[in-house]
Amino acid sequence: MCHVGDDNDVYLSGLLFYDLVFTGLPKPPRPGEELWTGGMASGPGGIANFAVALARLGTRPVLAAAFGDDAHGTLCWTSSRTKASTSPGPVALRTGRRR
C-alpha cells in the first residue's frame, strides 16, 4: 500500500457510489416492465473506479472519498483496498475519523 507523498501522480477526490449491476437481461426493459435477470454483482463505483483504472494504467493515484459507516460503506472500503493491493500501481487509501 502506498502512502500520500511526493511520489504520487494523481490526487482524486469525488463521490463514491455503491454500484448494483444486473446481468443476463434478455433485453432492455421498457418503462414499467419487470424482467428477471440471470445474476447480480455489486461493489464500489464512482471515483473508486477511476482510481483503480488509473492504477492499472501504471500511475500512482491517491483517492480522497467519504465511505459510509454502514455495511455498504464497509464493503466498498474492503473491496477498494483489495483492488488497490492487486493493481499494478497502488491506490493509497487512508482512514479518517468516524463520527
Cα-Cα-Cα-Cα dihedral sign, residues 86, 90, 13, 4: positive
Question: Which among 91, 89, 60, 88 is positioned nearest to 77, based on CA atoms?
Answer: 91
Instruction: List the beta bridge partners of residue 39.
Output: 23
Query: Residue-wise pLDDT tens for the chain (99 aa)?
Result: 445 566 778 888 888 888 889 899 989 999 999 999 999 988 888 888 888 888 888 888 888 888 888 888 888 888 776 665 555 544 555 555 554
pTM: 0.63
Cα-Cα-Cα-Cα dihedral sign, residues 93, 95, 96, 99: positive
How long, in residues, is the chain?
99
- The confidence score (pLDDT) of residue 90 equals 45
Cα-Cα-Cα-Cα dihedral of 79, 83, 86, 91, to 10°?
A: -120
- Cβ–Cβ contacts within 10 Å for residue 96, how many? 9
